[in-house]
């Protein structure tokens, strides 16, 4: 059952092994091996030490690079070709229910507010307000009309 479920969706499989490899348990050696294997296979570089909330969704998982110090909140959607980087060891802090579109680059110490939507191809170099939709190079606020609109099946958390 578990192998059938993990085999169907490589993004779910990657997230499963990432979470299992991130915490102490009896399966940790196997989980680390699987995490490393899937990281190479799909070009997903999410370090085990990255703090990630519940309900992470990786859509079309390929080509994602995330700095290990990044904090990702609950119910966030990450799209393909995402880069969250930092040259000064002060990476981004992403709040809950954030949608990040394809080919987005988030640079340095930015805070992305709850319910924000980041459009495809955006380069985020400044803080994003709560509930805002941003796009462009550099990213600019387009509106604040539909916070968290692309977040479906939210994971319930306290």
What pLDDT digit, counting tens, does each position of 18-54 carry? 989 988 889 989 999 999 999 999 999 999 889 999 8
Rounded to the nearest 10°, the torsion over CA 140, 144, 145, 148 is: 90
Rounded-to-integer distance, Cα 6 and Cα 150, Å: 24
pLDDT in tens, 96-134: 999 999 999 999 899 999 999 999 999 999 999 999 999
Q: Which domains does the chain have, with CATH numbers?
A: 2-143 (2.160.10.10)
Rounded-to-integer distance, Cα 134 and Cα 112, Å: 10
pTM, two decimal places: 0.84
Mean pLDDT score across all residues of the chain: 87
- pLDDT (0 to 100) of residue 61: 79
Rounded-to-integer distance, Cα 121 and Cα 135, Å: 7
- pLDDT (0 to 100) of residue 155: 62
């Amino acid at each position: 059952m578990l192998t059938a479920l993990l085999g169907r969706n490589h993004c779910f499989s990657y997230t499963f092994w990432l979470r299992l490899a991130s915490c102490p348990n009896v399966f940790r050696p196997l989980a680390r091996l699987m995490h490393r294997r899937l990281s190479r296979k799909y070009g997903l570089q999410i370090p085990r030490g990255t703090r990630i909330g519940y309900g992470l969704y990786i859509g079309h998982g390929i080509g994602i690079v995330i700095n290990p110090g990044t904090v990702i909140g609950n119910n966030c959607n990450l799209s393909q070709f995402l880069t969250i980087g930092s040259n000064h060891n002060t990476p981004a802090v992403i709040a809950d229910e954030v949608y990040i579109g394809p080919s987005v680059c988030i640079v340095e110490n930015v805070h992305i507010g709850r319910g924000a939507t980041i459009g495809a191809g955006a380069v985020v170099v400044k803080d994003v307000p709560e509930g805002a939709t941003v796009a462009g190079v550099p990213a600019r606020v387009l509106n604040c009309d539909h916070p968290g609109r692309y977040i479906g099946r939210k994971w319930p958390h306290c």
